[in-house]
Amino acid sequence: MYRILIVDDEKDERNVIRFLLKKFDFELEIVEAANGKEAFEELVRSPADILLTDVQMPFVNGIELATKVRERYDDIEIIFFSGHDDFNFVKKALTLRADNYILKPVKPEEFNQTMTEVMRNIKKRKEEQEKREVNQLFIKQHILYRLLNQTPIDILKNEYPFLNFDFLNDYNRMILVHSDTAFLDSLFEEENEYFYEVIKRATLDSKYDVINLNPFQIVLLFKDNLRRPFTYKEAAKQIQQKIQETYGINCVLSVSNHMKNPVQIAQTYNELEGYLKDRFFYSDVFIYPIDTPLTDSKEYKEDEYLLEEIERALQQGDTVELEQKISLIIQKYDKRTNTAQGYLRFLFARLLQLFFQTMPEYSKDSMNRYIELIYSYKHFSDIKQTLLEVQRKVIKGLEEEKNSPKHVIEIVKQYIIENIEKDLGLDMLAEKVYLTPGYLSDKFKQDTGVGINKYIKQVRMNKAEELLSNTNMKVNTISKVIGYKNDSYFIRIFREHLGVSPQKYREMKRR
């Protein structure tokens, strides 16, 4: 529904316009203002599609209002109405791209004709804008499709000289999804919303694009998620399992390393296809490349399950469960001589990686040094000793964290991020962590520097910016997704936060 702002210092005149809009069945959200100053403040809070303004008003007259509005909102439709049939005024109105000028008293048929034309203009402009956006998206998808099919990037740049190719620099990871049946084609076209939701959850809301290569293959091109790190292979595993559970199809997924530049896109796709050749040897493996030879797939699955339980214990801070699972895996391989050393080193290196994810005070270089030790040791006892040494540090950190108020604050922050669509409030959050609202409020502000409500608003605005920049969701849908039931309120809050409307922000980001 479009929005119209009626501006006139006489309420009776505003009532006449409101009556005529209803009489001629114009489906508009109607907002009123008594003068130009009030009108501009209202537009800053929540933009309108149509400004219908009187000329002679106190504080800020119609011409001054239209001048300020046109500078800020280039696409707004402006209609003047006044009792002064002044040629000089009409010339000024034309310089402001006013769509029409109506004399008072307003004649119903003339008003109907003017509004019909204005509504037609708005609809046409919106359709053209949507068409431009769709065309731009289609061209980018087509370029990615041809890159994956080995078309050199220089040739593409010559074919599309009007396009900025910088968007290709954003992609730095790739997952190839392959099916032996022509299943992915229908999945992509008919059930993409569900499929996108699966990817979204598995990759913790990472930014990505999907390229439909053929009925048997699709490619997921990712932009690294800097907010919450995750393992791409683990994400691929979750996607594969969800497809298998939902559709009964055993897709295989091939996961790339980090890509440094667009030139690597075609090369990386070839590598991912090459990894799938190993399927001949491993009929029950669905994620490639394989990090280590699997001489015993049953044993490998057992170890994978143990690693998942250890990771879960780390995430939940369950030190008792953690010690039990580590003890199990050590006992399993202690004094065991028939296990390949390469696999053993790989397994315990992965354990160390899980440990270091819970110790942010340690750098990546520190983790790599420990892993290098794992691969340099000649005896399993040395590997075991190193693992237990790091485990003690991890458990000490987890115990300290559990006893720290900061841990509670992190739980609250994480809950807000993961449940942003809900009606969040201090009382409900306090109940989640078994604290009084007053104590939680004080500790949250003390630890973060902002109040809970301000933090919730910031998270919602960050999510709104992301969705406006990287999806084609409608503004009213985004409003619901981030927890605002009232679209107008969301638009006003967004404008207060960033100084522009959601629609204008989207346009700015896509230029």
Number of residues assigned to the chain: 511
Degrees, nearest 5: CA angle 393-396-402: 140
Structure tokens at 267: 């090369």
Q: 437-441: list long-range contacts, CB under 8 Å, 24+ apart.
A: 440/408, 440/412
Element (H, E) at 173: strand 173-178
Domain ranges of the chain: 2-126, 164-288, 297-402, 408-509
Question: Which pLDDT belongs to residue 402?
Answer: 64
H-type helices in 31-74, by residue range?
36-45, 62-72
Residue whose C-alpha is closest to residue 280's, from 182, 180, 174: 180
Question: Which pLDDT belongs to residue 48?
Answer: 94
Q: Give the distance from CA 385 to its chain's centroid.
A: 43
CA torsion angle 483 488 490 493 (round to 10): -150
Q: Which CATH code for domain 408-509?
A: 1.10.10.60
Bond before 105 cis per omega within 30 degrees: yes
Q: Which CATH code for domain 2-126?
A: 3.40.50.2300
Bond before 108 cis per omega within 30 degrees: no
Cα distance between residue 264 and residue 451, in whole Å: 45
Contact yes or no for 210/280 (Cβ under 8 A): no
Q: Give the distance from CA 44 to its chain's centroid.
A: 26
Question: Which pLDDT belongs to residue 281?
Answer: 45
Question: Which pLDDT belongs to residue 456?
Answer: 93
- State the CATH architecture for 164-288: 2-Layer Sandwich (3.30)
Write out the chain's pLDDT in tens, 511 residues.
899 999 999 999 999 999 999 999 999 999 999 999 999 999 999 999 999 998 888 888 888 898 899 888 888 999 888 776 555 565 565 565 555 778 788 889 989 999 999 999 889 888 888 777 777 788 888 999 999 988 998 999 888 888 889 999 989 899 999 988 877 666 655 455 677 777 878 877 788 888 888 888 989 999 865 544 568 888 899 889 988 888 888 889 999 988 888 889 999 999 999 888 766 445 678 898 876 544 456 777 888 888 889 988 887 778 888 899 999 988 888 867 667 777 788 888 888 888 887 776 566 677 778 888 888 887 788 888 989 998 988 888 877 766 566 667 888 888 899 899 988 988 888 887 767 888 888 888 888 888 999 999 999 999 999 999 888 889 999 999 999 989 899 999 999 888 899 998 888 877 6
Element (H, E) at 448: helix 437-448
Question: Which pLDDT belongs to residue 295?
Answer: 47
Beta strands 173-178; 252-255: pairing state: antiparallel
Cα distance between residue 169 and residue 259, in whole Å: 9
